[in-house]
Amino acid sequence: MQCPKCGAENADNTQVCSSCGCTETKPHQVKSGPSKRNWVMPLIEILLMGLAAALAGLLKPTWAFIAALLAFCSAISDIRTNWNERKFRGKAIGAGILILSCLFMLTLSYLRIDAAPIPDDYTVSDLRSAPTECDQTYELLGQLTDVDVEVEGRSPIGLSAQEIRRLEEIYDLCKEKELGTITLILQDNAGEIIDMWQHAQKGREVISKLNESPEIADLDEPNIEIEKSWFVSLRHLTFLHFTYICLQSIQGDHNDAVDTLLKYDPFVGKLSLNARSLLTNLVCMACSKINIDVANFIINNPETPQNSLMLLRQHIIPLSRERTSLRNALISEYIAWKKRFLKTSNDPRYRHRAITPLKLNSTLRLSMNFLCELIAIEEGGTKMKELKVWPAFYPDLPVKIGHDGKLPWYYEIYNPLGAKAIAIYVPAINNVLILRTKLLIHSDLLKIVLDKRLGKEVSLKSCAYSDEYIVDVEGKKIFSPGPDGKPGTKDDIMLSINPELLGW
């Protein structure tokens, strides 16, 4: 072995140089720190895997989850291998930050996973439809499609813009007034009402033709957007029937009054039978409510003969279960919202959201659970088993929708866009259900009033919101306290009555 100081040759096991006496006979061993591979490569691997996870997340959440998981495992393995190297520990701080980033990416990837699609989902074929031989009624109803009266000069029912304004004014004056006040208003405007009735012959002829068919078809495709339709024309026709029929009753034309009502009310019933959208159902409910007011006016007229009262009892009340069913509307509205959800989920602005996109399948499953519960109530059947709104490997946490559309906080975190859509969709349906309940109460009140007028025994037992209906003799009304359960508030559901005539 050569001496590192003087270069003299010594034996391999010599501790002291025989020439110069140097005691360091072995070459100096320099300890090497961790190689760049030890700390640079883990960082590069983590960066690449993190980038892969981010890119994969834009394409498919499952890929992002796998990529982020591999990055995390790689980083942990490298740190455990090199942790005992002292110089590496400082570099491990940077790796730790990247590990946290990977964990964050894992969490986001986990949240981006959607539930499975719904098997046997609702389609248009599940809607109740009129027989094919009634399809022409859809085109016939289209003759009443709304137009700009100021531009066209006449509405689809035949009234001028000025007549439309006057009709609305007269009806607004009569709305929710006492029977005596309504009588005075109609008498003061009798000439105009008769003229408008004659001018609206076109609209009345359409109604007569539609009544010749056993059913009226609704072939509208489920859609959230409101398009031009016949709603405004039907509204004006209903106002016109209210004013004309009540005026005929006042003037003593009782047969004509009852006959006209018994022609118009069945038309509304046929229209509501196959109505698809919630809006169409709302229009039919409004028309039915006005027809109830008309029948109530006739009943409370002391001069109305017994035979007219019996005809009303036979044909007007109570409202049938089919006529007030919302099954079609619920399914149609679900299909319409499904189209909107599909459009939103395919929108790049929402599909590639950094945190969580719209969970289409989960949103539809949650909507389906809500829908099926209401349909079970509508049909009096058994509620189907709830669909799971989470992906298969998620914990099956309960998710119930409140009446205001409110969802549990953990679901709002998982599916914020879907939760917002539900918050719009559910309250709208619940409001329609409330209006339907109010219509049924009005029908119930009318039955009580008519039976009382016919001298029959009546029960004031309420069908909703309270135990019994209230008869206010001084206020000349019979009413239900409404959803708030408190009498004398704005949401009272009432009919004006003639207490002396009815014997109250």
169 and 254 in a common domain:
yes
Query: Per the domain annotation, does 402 fall within a domain?
Result: no
Mark residue 11 as left, alpha or beta (left: phi above 0; alpha: psi -120 to 50; beta: remaining).
beta
pLDDT in tens, 222-249: 887 777 788 999 999 999 999 999 999 9
Range of the domain at 10: 1-30
Query: Per the domain annotation, does 488 fall within a domain?
Result: no
Per-residue pLDDT of the chain (504 residues; tens, 9 = 90+): 677 767 677 776 676 777 776 765 444 444 444 444 455 555 565 555 555 555 554 445 555 556 556 666 666 666 566 555 544 555 555 556 656 666 666 666 667 788 899 988 899 999 999 999 999 999 999 999 887 777 777 899 999 999 999 999 999 999 888 999 999 999 999 999 999 999 999 999 999 999 999 999 999 888 877 777 889 999 999 999 999 999 999 999 999 999 999 999 999 999 999 998 888 999 999 999 999 999 999 999 999 999 999 999 888 777 887 888 899 999 999 999 888 888 877 766 655 554 567 788 999 999 999 988 888 887 776 777 889 999 988 888 999 888 788 899 999 888 888 898 898 888 888 899 999 999 999 999 999 999 999 999 999 999 889 999 999 999 999 999 999 889 988 889 999 999 999 988
48 and 196 in a common domain:
no
Determine the 3-state secondary structure of 479 from DSSP: strand
CA 95, CA 106: separation in Å to the nearest integer? 16
Query: Per the domain annotation, does 260 fall within a domain?
Result: yes
| Half-sphere exposure of residue 12: CA atoms within 13 angstroms, side-chain side | 0
Q: What pLDDT shows up at residue 416? A: 87
103 and 192 in a common domain:
no
Domain boundary among 111, 139, 164: 111
Q: Which of 157, 162, 122, 164 is nearest to 143 (CA)?
A: 157
Query: Per the domain annotation, does 315 fall within a domain?
Result: yes
305 and 268 in a common domain:
yes
259 and 214 in a common domain:
yes
270 and 163 in a common domain:
yes
52 and 11 in a common domain:
no
CA 493, CA 442: separation in Å to the nearest integer? 7
321 and 175 in a common domain:
yes
148 and 93 in a common domain:
no
Alpha carbon of 149 to those of 170, 192, 203, 290, 451: distances in Å? 19, 19, 14, 24, 43
Query: Per the domain annotation, does 295 fall within a domain?
Result: yes
Q: What pLDDT shows up at residue 424? A: 87
Q: What pLDDT shows up at residue 35? A: 47
CA 330, CA 278: separation in Å to the nearest integer? 7
Could you tell me the pTM of the whole model?
Answer: 0.79
Q: How many domains is the chain built from?
A: 3
Domain boundary among 111, 144, 166: 111
212 and 102 in a common domain:
no
